[in-house]
Structures are given as C-alpha cells and as structure tokens.
Amino acid sequence: MLAILRDLIRYNLEFRIGLVLVSIVVVMAGLSFVSPYPPGEVYVVPPDVPPSAAHWLGTTSRGQDVFWQLTFAIRNTLSFGIMVAVLSRIIALVVGLLAGYSGGWIDRVLMSINDTFIIIPLFPILILFYFVLRDSMSTPLLATIMACLGWAYDARLIRSVALSLKTREFTQTSIFSGMKTHEILAREHLPYVMPIVFSTTMNNMNWSIGIEVTLAVLGFTDINAPTIGGMIYWANQHTALVAGIWWWIAFPIALVVMTFVGLFLLAVSMNEYIDPRSRLARMGGGR
C-alpha cells in the first residue's frame, strides 16, 4: 500500500492536489485543540464583526469566532465521516470477501441481503430514524445507522475482486497448505482489495459528510454540537445572508467544498491506479 501511495504522489497530479486539500482540512481540524474559546459557548466575542485582524473570518450573531468555530466543526464533521467509513468498510470487507470466496448458497444469501440494502431509500430512512430516536439520537448512533446502510455497493465491488482471486494459483496453494478460510481472506486476498477499500473510503466519507451536513442544515441532528451543517443551520436561523453576515455561511461552505474536492480527487486518482491502462499511461507520461 505504501508503494502505491508513493507512485500516486510521484505520478498523479490529482492525487497531489487532493492530498494538499485534505491536509489543509486536517490541519484546520487539528487547530481546534488549541482554540482559546470553548466550542459550545456563545457570546464570547462581539457579535456580527466582519473579517478583520482580530477575527480572521469574522464572528457570528451568536458571539462566536467563525475561524475557531470552524476548527471544531470540521473536526467533528471529519470524525463523523471517518467513523461511518471505517464501520461500513468493515461490513463491506467481511460480506464481499466471504461471498466471493465461499460461493454457493453463502454467496446467494449474502448478495440477496446486499441487493436489498442497495435499493433502500437512505435519506427517508435516516429521517425516520431521527423522529423515532429523537431523544436518544447522537453522533455515534447516527454514524452507526449510516454505516449499516452504506456498505452494500462497495461490498459488491469487493466481491467481484474476490471471485477473481478465488481462481488464482496462490489461493489453491494456500488451501492445499492447510490455511483456514479466515487466514486466506486476511493474508492472501485482503492486500489485493486494499486499493479499492481506500478509494471507496474516500467516496464513502464524501457521501456520509454530505448526508450529515444536509440533515444538520434541516435540523435533524444535534444542532448544538459544532459541525459544518450545524453552523449553516444557525446562520439560516439568524438570517445571516439577509442581515449581510455573509461570512457566517460562506466560510463553512468553502471549507466543506474543499473537503469534498480533496476526497474526490483522492478517490479518482486511486481509481485510475486500479485501472492498469490509466496507470501505465499516466506513469509513462510522467517520465
């Protein structure tokens, strides 16, 4: 995997741009740990101050510094996306590898369940969960629900690779040497699907962050927890655009767009690497 990342950094411009954008977002999130203001406190600075030397990105009508509030918001939003991506990758890996390697009735049962999750309308289901679990809805619970709903398409991709790996000579050698199923999947097959896992992780983070921002803007999450969607929600509640407080909405949107573009470029560049024709063409041109 490290060799793949080294090749991408060396030969792929989109990967380098995406890495820079995501690095900026990560640094922004890291600054939340040195913030001089508590994340949930209001009226700690003068309200409605435009961007200045004292407040780089201005302040909100709730008396919060936009820059420092953004550091907390993007940290929580990124953490949410990572949580969803990790949980859903685990489910996708287990289902995809087991279905592709086992075949037979196990493959049919798992893919029947998989296809059911593919056609489920996710957004209405998430809204339904919010109204049912409104009093107990939390960020980890929402992430768990989204992870349980967002693994199916990627599991089918992993299964397609596992079907091919099952017929390879090294798989037959592993079987004859007495390796158990979980050992073959973990030691022999998993390294081959890691590039797909990396690419789908970036896509899944984009999907989960987009859904979380949408739900937060509509008020269907914990709006008191600082997130990008939460900042936009409060800006809308205080009619920031009408009041001329454009920075309250503009900077959160700009940061989340930077996150989307960075993750998208990382995913696209990894997809190009997975496709040997695209990879060889790019590396040949780079030389």
> Can you give the pLDDT at residue 133?
80
Rounded to 10 degrees, what is the CA torsion of 252, 257, 259, 260? 140
Residue-level pLDDT at 270: 82
Domain region containing 50: 28-282
Q: Is residue 269 part of a domain?
A: yes
Asked, for residue 3, whether it belongs to a domain, the answer is no
pLDDT for 3 equals 73
Number of domains in the chain: 1
- What pLDDT score does 276 carry? 53
- Write out pLDDT tens, residues 194-247: 888 888 899 999 999 999 999 899 888 888 889 999 999 999 999 998 989 999
For the domain that residue 91 is a member of, what is the CATH number? 1.10.3720.10
What's the one-letter identity of residue 239?
Answer: T
Residue 9 lies in a domain: no
What pLDDT is recorded for position 278? Answer: 52
DSSP for 221-282? S-TTS--HHHHHHHHHHTTHHHHT-THHHHHHHHHHHHHHHHHHHHHHHHHHHHSHHHHHHH
Residue 94 CB partners (closer than 8 Å, separation 6+): none
14 in any annotated domain: no
What's the pLDDT tens digit per position in 7-33? 778 878 888 999 999 999 999 999 999
Looking at residue 63, its pLDDT comes to 93
- Is 16 part of any domain? no
CB contact at 8 A, 209 and 77:
yes
Percentage helix, strand, coil for the chain under 3-state DSSP, each rounded to 5? 75, 0, 25
Residue 27 is predicted with a pLDDT of 96
In this prediction, residue 77 carries a pLDDT of: 94
Q: What's the pLDDT at 262?
A: 95
Q: State the chain's mean pLDDT as an integer.
A: 88
**pTM, entire model:** 0.86
Which residues, in sequence order, are bridge partners of residue 65?
59
Q: Which of 242, 286, 224, 253 is nearest to 11 (CA)?
A: 286
Q: Is 168 helix (H, G, I), strand (E, B) or coil?
A: coil
Q: Residues in the chain with pLDDT < 50?
A: 285-287
Helix (H, G, I), strand (E, B), or coil: what is residue 59?
strand
Domain assignment present for 142: yes
Confidence at residue 99, expressed as pLDDT on a 0 to 100 scale: 92
Contact (CB, 8 A) for 84 and 204: yes
Examine residue 43 and state whether it is found in any structural domain, yes or no: yes
Instruction: Give the pLDDT score at 275.
Output: 63
For residue 261, count other CB atoms closer than 10 A to its CB: 15
Backbone angles phi, psi at 59, to 5 degrees: -130, 165
Domain annotation covers residue 249:
yes
